[in-house]
Structure 1
Amino acid sequence: MDRTELAREIIQTSRLTGEFKLRSGKTSNHYFDKYLFESNPVILAAIAEQLAPLVPEGTEVLAGLEMGGIPIATALSLKTGIPVVFVRKRAKEYGTSKLAEGMDIAGKKVCIIEDVITTGGQVLLSAADLLTHDAELKEVLCVIERDPAGRANLEDAEFVVHSLFKMEELFESEEISL
């Protein structure tokens, strides 16, 4: 599936209309239920195929953020052979009390994987947590860049952001297919 077809599949599969409160607290009349495209094996495989070339050179670990970044990071790990860790929003309070499940990330070049970035808030919170575990962080990779403010916030924190799609590209693909 090429990039244009993938954009159409994502928007047709996951775009909902109505009134939705976003994680950022903002209200929107459209919403992308990312779990609808993340749970579709054909779309998820195509996303991994398209994201793989965007993985920064030298990446040693993919860090999938709870919860939406985990299936993306897993599919990308299968495609690239790069190990993956699963990053909780907060360390569990039992057992190993881990924040990042999987291999040790200390001293490793880690690329954060997220599904949708609106403000970048969760990425910044998770990055701060990962830094306490001595991960080397500089790169963020996402499927959908919903709002330019998210990129700006992440760049202000000195992250390099790579996105497969900007929101307007998804809307353009929808117009093409109508």
Structure 2
Amino acid sequence: MPGATHRSAVFPPELTADRKRFLALLKEKSYERRTVVLSSGRESDFYIDCKQSTLDAEGAVLTGRLFCAMLERGERPEAVGGITLGADPIVTAVSLTSALRGWPVPAFIIRKEPKKHGTEQWIEGKKNLRPGMRVAILEDVVTTGASTMRAIERAAGSGLVVARVLCLVDRNEGGSEAVATAGYRVEPMFLREDVEHA
């Protein structure tokens, strides 16, 4: 069974400047040193709100470019998706960038609750998907791994095969290990320490 990587992604030399710039953006816009209660219910003395960076125009470009570089190393998925709201700008940026790079992959969004009317579906973008499609789950931050596991379960429950799991920041708080016990390896772009020391 694959385990957690405990190290951030390695990028080719031509993306060194992009990696450095994105880290600076995350430190400036997304990282806060304060006491907060996380979605997991845990209390923490720091907070990483990746949406502040992934919704930035430059941040969106860097999100797409760096995640696509990670996806090009290893099995390329047929689609990318994740749990709303943190994954929404990420999967959109990756889908757009993949098309610009000549290997277009559709994006899908997993709801936290099924739609209350109409189709009552869990997944948006379903018409771009087919049963058995090999997909990558993309996350903004992994803490306990609970959100990641929900995304994996919803995707699998919709007939998709989760081939890869990537995240923007791994807080190194046991989430990757929890996901690994289910047989999935989390591939982080950055670790908490990368952002703190940027």
2:129 matched residue in structure 1 = 104
User: Which letter maps to 1:131?
Assistant: A
Contact 2:165 2:184 in 1 (8 A): yes
1:20 matched residue in structure 2 = 36
Contact 1:117 1:144 in 2 (8 A): yes
The 5 A counterparts of 1:74-153 are: 74-80=92-98, 81-102=104-125, 103-153=128-178
How far does the alpha carbon of each residue in 1:92-147 deviate from its partner, in whole angstroms, 9 at most, with x for none?
12111111111234210011011111111011112112211111013111111112
User: Which letter maps to 1:42?
Assistant: E
Distance in 2, matches of 1:10 and 1:58, equals 26
How far does the alpha carbon of each residue in 1:31-58 deviate from its partner, in whole angstroms, 9 at most, with x for none?
1122211221101211211111212423
Contact 1:22 1:28 in 2 (8 A): yes
3-state SS of 2:53 partner = helix
Contact 1:13 1:36 in 2 (8 A): yes
How far does the alpha carbon of each residue in 1:30-89 deviate from its partner, in whole angstroms, 9 at most, with x for none?
111222112211012112111112124231010132111011000000011211111111
Moved beyond 2 Å, runs of 4+: none
User: Which letter maps to 1:21?
Assistant: V
Deviation (angstroms), 1:17: 2.5
Distance in 2, matches of 1:49 and 1:96, equals 33
Bigger RCO (CA 8 Å, 6+ sep): 2
Percent identity of paired positions between Structure 1 and Structure 2: 26
> Per the alignment, do residues 142 and 41 of structure 1 end up closer, same or farther by CA in structure 2, a change over 3 Å counting?
same
TM-score by length of 2: 0.82
2:55 matched residue in structure 1 = 39
3-state SS of 2:51 partner = helix
1:167 matched residue in structure 2 = 192
> What is the CA RMSD across the aligned residues, in angstroms?
1.4
Question: Does structure 1 residue 65 correspond to structure 2 residue 83?
Answer: yes
3-state SS of 2:34 partner = strand
The number of residue pairs the alignment matches comes to: 173
> Per the alignment, do residues 124 and 105 of structure 1 end up closer, same or farther by CA in structure 2, a change over 3 Å counting?
farther
Distance in 2, matches of 1:63 and 1:33, equals 19
Q: Which runs of 5+ in 1 are unaligned?
A: 174-178
TM-score by length of 1: 0.91
User: Which letter maps to 2:119?
Assistant: T
Distance in 1, matches of 2:56 and 2:66, equals 15
Q: Select the residue among 63, 69, 79 that pairs with 1:53.
A: 69
Q: Which runs of 5+ in 2 are unaligned?
A: 1-16, 99-103
Contact 2:82 2:137 in 1 (8 A): yes
